[in-house]
């Protein structure tokens, strides 16, 4: 059997404080790996899954990576092509770091690479989003797009996948702490009110616009002032133990901003350089350590590559 072709897709941070469902960025690690190879037996088959503790199905149509890859194969008219897929989960489930998105991204990119790149990377986005939709029921790209193409991504419209990479001032680092507590995405959605006051809407719009301007102009002070979520974070903070203590610790250590990663429970902070980010991460981690809550810390530059062939 040949060694196959391997693709890595990174974790991602969605929402980025003021950009609920419209902003996301990728980090260097963790992430998922998928290996694909040609097979004599027709059709796509998932032959191995590691790191999932039995939580992922082998049926292609029920697996985010398999489903996304199968939709791509249908689009390309290659459904009879024999392909074997191995899924190696290298990141936690339910962490708020885009686990299902990383699998879907790695699945479509691996198959596309195996077939000698019939589509450009950005053209794979729709199929990866379909895989993510299988997992959470929503067609949105705030995790998938950063994981696929890297960088800080603005999604102007999810339905049309009108996505845009935003510039990043040199040196910005993310500190992401994942406390080992369970928050289901559906529960994190359930706590959200569908009513937003006009004053909060105006404030949040100003923050999002300010963040975009700050990124374009390299204005770290404006970025810091804008990394505030006045709508979603106050509603979800109660789901994450010691959230405000962690946020306070991050800000006191020099972070530009700190908020919930995706639906949580992970918490992210952005800092002006790697040294501050290390200190910020240690401060965030200490809060959970003192509370005897197991956690993992990831300190990373913003990943500019997204998914890569290994």
Cα 167 to Cα 125: distance, rounded to the nearest angstrom: 20
**42 sits in which H/E element:** none
Contact 276, 258 (CB under 8 A): no
* Four-point Cα dihedral 108, 109, 113, 119, nearest 10: 80
Q: Is 78 an annotated catalytic residue?
A: no
Adjacency order of strands within the sheet including 295-301: 257-260, 267-271, 173-179, 295-301
The whole-angstrom separation of Cα 10 and Cα 282 is 22
Q: Which of the following is catalytic: 33, 84, 86, 132?
A: 132
CB 27 within 8 A of CB 176: yes
Q: Which of 185, 248, 278, 296 is catalytic?
A: 185
Note if 185 is an active site residue. yes
Q: Identify whether the C-beta of residue 271 lies closer than 8 Å to the C-beta of residue 249.
A: no
Q: Active-site residues: which are they?
A: 132, 185
């Amino acid at each position: 059997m040949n060694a196959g072709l391997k693709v890595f897709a990174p974790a991602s941070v969605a929402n980025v404080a003021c950009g609920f469902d419209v902003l996301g960025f990728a980090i260097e690690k963790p992430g998922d790996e998928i290996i694909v190879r040609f097979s004599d037996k027709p059709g796509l088959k998932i032959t191995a899954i590691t790191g999932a503790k039995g939580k992922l199905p082998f049926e292609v149509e029920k697996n985010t990576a398999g489903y996304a890859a199968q939709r791509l194969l249908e689009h390309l008219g290659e459904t009879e092509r024999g392909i074997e897929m191995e899924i190696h989960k290298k990141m936690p489930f339910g962490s708020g770091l885009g686990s299902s998105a990383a699998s879907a991204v790695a699945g479509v990119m691996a198959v596309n690479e195996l077939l000698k790149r019939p589509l450009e990377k950005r053209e794979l986005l729709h199929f990866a989003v379909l895989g993510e939709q299988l997992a959470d029921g929503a067609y949105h790209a705030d995790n998938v797009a950063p994981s696929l193409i890297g960088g800080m991504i603005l999604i102007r419209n999810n339905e049309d996948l009108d996505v845009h990479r935003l510039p990043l001032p040199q040196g910005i680092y993310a500190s992401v702490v994942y406390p080992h507590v369970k928050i289901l995405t559906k529960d994190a959605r359930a706590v959200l009110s569908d009513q937003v006051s006009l004053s909060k809407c105006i404030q949040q719009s100003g923050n999002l616009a300010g963040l975009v301007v700050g990124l374009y102009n390299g204005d770290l002070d404006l970025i810091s002032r804008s990394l505030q979520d006045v709508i979603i974070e106050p509603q979800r903070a109660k789901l994450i133990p010691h959230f405000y203590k962690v946020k306070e610790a991050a800000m006191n250590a020099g972070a530009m901003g700190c908020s919930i990663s995706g639906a949580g429970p992970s918490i992210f902070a952005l800092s002006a350089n790697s040294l501050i980010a290390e200190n910020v991460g240690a401060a965030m981690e200490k809060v959970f350590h003192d509370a005897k809550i197991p956690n993992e810390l990831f300190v990373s530059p913003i990943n500019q590559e997204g998914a890569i062939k290994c």
